[in-house]
Amino acid sequence: MKSITAANYQKHQFYPAIAGAVQAILKTNTVVTPVEVLLRLQRITKQQHDDWRFGRIPYLERVCVGNLSKLSVILRILDHHACALGLKPSQTVYHKWGRGGKHIILRFSKSGAPALEAAYSRHYVARARPGTENQTAATTLGAPPDSTQQLDVQKKASHKARES
């Protein structure tokens, strides 16, 4: 396959794994991040992620499993899949964790190319939160309505407890 497009991304060999990772993330969270997808695909470990976030690794691609073209394909497929699910893209800046890190912006790639850095730092946000009246994200994932209603009741109870 030469180029990943909106018409052919589902035919790529990486698509089932990426779609599964996105689905697993959306079951517990309303935001899908490329870093979380790489963690779920076992392209990076939690320890490597933490080392990068604390600034012990200069750029994330240095420790990723697979060559740079495969990582680029993963990002393209993730972008097309998130768009197809109706997730809203949101640019995010990653700052270093730890002492003095608030002003240090982390890098994803050795080249630091703006388009590539933007692809890695783009989060995809579900338009409807689980447990709200508009259950488009839950129905897309195939979650039963009663589980989202339980989440809604739990959220209301925890919110009332915080208020008192």
The pLDDT of residue 1 is: 53
Q: Is 42 within 8 Å of 58 (Cβ atoms)?
A: no
Count of structural domains, the chain: 1
Low-confidence ranges of the chain (pLDDT < 70): 1, 101, 128-164
The pLDDT of residue 88 is: 95
Assess if residue 151 is contained within a domain.
no
The pLDDT of residue 6 is: 86
How many beta carbons lie within 10 A of that of residue 31, not counting itself? 15
The pLDDT of residue 92 is: 92
Assess if residue 121 is contained within a domain.
yes
Assess if residue 80 is contained within a domain.
yes
Assess if residue 1 is contained within a domain.
no
How many beta carbons lie within 10 A of that of residue 11, not counting itself? 9
pLDDT tens-digit readout, 108-137: 999 999 999 999 999 999 986 555 544 444
The pLDDT of residue 5 is: 87
Taking the C-alpha atoms of residue 105 and residue 55, their distance in angstroms, rounded to an integer, is 10
Kindly write down the DSSP assignment for every residue of 42-107, as one continuous string: TSS-HHHHHHHHTTSSSBGGGT-SS-HHHHHHHHHHHHHHHHHHTPEEEE---B--STT-TTPBPB
Closest to 121 measured CA to CA, from 93, 144, 95 = 93
Report residue 5: phi and psi, to 5°.
-125, 170
The pLDDT of residue 98 is: 86
Assess if residue 89 is contained within a domain.
yes
pTM beyond 0.85, yes or no: no
Assess if residue 99 is contained within a domain.
yes
Assess if residue 150 is contained within a domain.
no
Range of the domain at 107: 9-127
Instruction: Say what percent of the chain tops pLDDT 90.
Output: 66
The pLDDT of residue 128 is: 64
